[in-house]
């Protein structure tokens, strides 16, 4: 299938593009590189051995996006393009509503004009807020979000649910990610934060590389085994695979489906730091600081539904992800 991939030069997007090509699909990337770099596209082409169609557009610009739809006539869409940092969303909420919600609405307007068979949406476990039930299943209640980023994902899901009522012939898959980490095993692709990282693992790797003087762990007084937040860290390659499997699965029957995408295992922040030190034989300079606004103490997934529905299982361990992330950092 010809697949339009918005945000295809980003962290998860680039790994998914590589996986799409490996499985015989033709990706069309739309990415204005506000959260990435142009060299990612060159690395993708070198890695895959394919020339990739690319448009340097803001996917919230309906005039430019209409040009893409008219010319390419994609069979499906994977929509990654969005701002993604919890703390930034608290400080700049309108920026998040404008981009994350506006770009999706723009795409759906065009899907109404140029029908596609499948739409895979990059959602997030933040839609669950601070969950009452752990592990988190798809039946967990959608609680009021604890940050604007999470709310933009809730709004995005509701947009797609309402859209599907009027376009029931489409297949729509909402993938609720937990915490993507790692890099391509080849070290040709990886996470590329612009400026100071907001996510744990790139801050860890940059501290190990001497780019950051010290890692601050936000809070060590949570009600968890070691006092630090517990999260579900999934290797980006396992996450990328779920997008391709979702496309293939969605062709079988027009419907809207929701899947958690995680390992089903909770690891604390301190555990991640200690595992990184152990598997890469590096001592990290870190300290404990105050809690960060908008962080839930414990969030990890129940992934049984996606495992059964897509015949999917994780292939990479936490150690694999941290070794691959460090290998990638050393290429930068």
Please write the tens of the pLDDT for every residue from 27-45. 999 999 999 999 999 999 9
How many Cβ atoms are within 10 Å of 102's Cβ, its own excluded?
16
Q: Taking residues 16-31, what's their average pLDDT?
A: 98
Phi-psi region of 154 (alpha: psi -120 to 50; beta: other; left: phi over 0): alpha
Report the C-alpha gap between 312 and 304 in whole angstroms.
Answer: 9
Q: For the chain, how many structural domains are there in total?
A: 1
Question: What pLDDT, on a 0 to 100 scale, did the predictor assign at position 325?
Answer: 98
Q: From the DSSP assignment, how many helices (H) and strands (E) are in the chain?
A: 12, 13
* Packing angle, helices 200-208 and 269-280, rounded to 10: 40
> Region 77-105: what's the mean pLDDT?
95
In this structure, is residue 140 part of a structural domain?
yes
CB atoms within 10 A of CB 332: 11
| pLDDT (tens digit per residue) in 93-136 | 999 999 999 999 999 999 999 999 999 999 999 899 888 899 99
The pLDDT confidence band at residue 285, using thresholds 50, 70 and 90, is very high
Q: Report the chain's mean pLDDT, rounded to a whole number.
A: 96
Q: How many C-alpha atoms does 132 have within 13 Å on its Cβ side?
A: 6
C-beta atoms surrounding 250 within 10 Å? 21
> Of all residues in the chain, what percent carry a pLDDT higher than 90?
91
Q: Does position 253 have pLDDT exceeding 90, yes or no?
A: no
**Of the residues 55, 96, 149, 300, which is catalytic?**
149
Question: Given pLDDT bands bounded at 50, 70 and 90, which one contains residue 327?
Answer: very high
29 near 9, Cβ under 8 Å?
yes
pLDDT for the residue 145: 83
Could you tell me the pLDDT band of residue 238, with boundaries at 50, 70 and 90?
Answer: very high
Collapsing DSSP to helix, strand or coil, 231 comes out as strand
Range of the domain at 57: 2-183+232-262
| pLDDT category of residue 146 using cuts at 50, 70 and 90 | confident
Q: Is pLDDT above 80 for 294?
A: no
CB-neighbour burial class of residue 93 (10 A; exposed 0-12, middle 13-18, buried 19+): middle
Residue 149 annotated as catalytic? yes
Asked, for residue 24, whether it belongs to a domain, the answer is yes
Residue 211 included in any domain: no
Residue pair 53/74 in contact by the 8 Å Cβ criterion? no
pLDDT over 90 at 77, yes or no:
yes
Asked, for residue 324, whether it belongs to a domain, the answer is: no
| Residue 263 pLDDT | 98
Contact 145, 105 (CB under 8 A): no
- Give me the mean pLDDT over the 73-90 stretch: 93
Q: How confident is the model at residue 266 (pLDDT cuts 50, 70, 90)?
A: very high
Any domain includes 282:
no
**Does a structural domain hold residue 222?**
no
In a domain, 243, yes or no: yes
pLDDT in tens, 156-199: 999 999 999 999 999 999 999 999 999 999 999 999 988 889 89
Beta bridge partners of 322: none
> How many angstroms separate the CA atoms of 329 and 194, rounded?
13
Give the pLDDT confidence score for residue 235 in this predicted structure: 98
In a domain, 271, yes or no: no
Q: Quote the pTM value.
A: 0.96
CB-based burial of residue 307 (10 Å sphere; 0-12 exposed, 13-18 middle, 19+ buried)?
middle
What's the distance, CA 154 to chain centroid?
15
Asked if 41 contacts 33 with a C-beta cutoff of 8 angstroms, the reply is: no
CATH number at residue 164: 3.40.50.720
What pLDDT shows up at residue 39? Answer: 96
């Amino acid at each position: 299938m010809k697949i339009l991939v918005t945000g295809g030069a980003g962290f998860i997007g680039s790994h998914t593009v590589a996986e799409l090509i490996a499985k015989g699909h033709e990706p069309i990337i739309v990415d204005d590189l506000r959260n990435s770099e142009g060299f990612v596209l060159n690395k993708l082409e070198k890695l895959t051995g394919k020339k990739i169609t690319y448009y340097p557009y803001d996917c919230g610009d309906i005039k430019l996006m209409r040009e893409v739809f008219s010319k390419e006539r994609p069979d499906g869409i994977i929509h990654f393009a969005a701002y993604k940092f919890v703390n930034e969303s608290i400080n700049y909420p309108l920026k998040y509503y404008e981009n994350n919600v506006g770009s999706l609405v723009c795409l759906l307007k065009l899907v109404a004009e140029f029908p596609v068979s499948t739409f895979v949406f990059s959602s997030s476990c933040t839609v669950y807020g601070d969950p009452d039930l752990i592990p988190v299943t798809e039946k967990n209640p959608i609680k009021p979000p604890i940050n604007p980023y999470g709310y933009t994902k809730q709004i995005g899901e509701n947009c797609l649910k309402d859209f599907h009522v009027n376009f029931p012939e489409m297949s729509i898959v909402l993938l609720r990610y937990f915490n993507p980490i790692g890099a391509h095993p080849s070290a040709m692709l990886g996470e590329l934060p612009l400026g100071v990282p907001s996510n744990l693992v790139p801050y860890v790797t940059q501290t190990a590389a001497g780019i950051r003087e010290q890692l601050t762990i936000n809070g060590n007084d949570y009600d968890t085994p070691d006092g630090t937040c517990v999260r579900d860290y999934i290797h980006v390659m396992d996450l990328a695979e779920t997008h391709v499997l979702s496309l293939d699965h969605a062709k079988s029957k027009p419907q809207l489906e929701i899947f958690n995408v995680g390992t089903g295992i909770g690891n604390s922040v301190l555990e991640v730091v200690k595992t990184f030190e152990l598997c890469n034989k590096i001592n990290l300079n870190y300290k404990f600081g105050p809690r960060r606004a908008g962080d839930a103490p414990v969030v990890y997934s129940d992934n049984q539904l996606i495992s059964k529905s897509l015949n999917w299982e994780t292939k990479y361990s936490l150690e694999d992800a941290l070794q691959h992330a460090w290998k990638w950092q050393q290429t930068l």
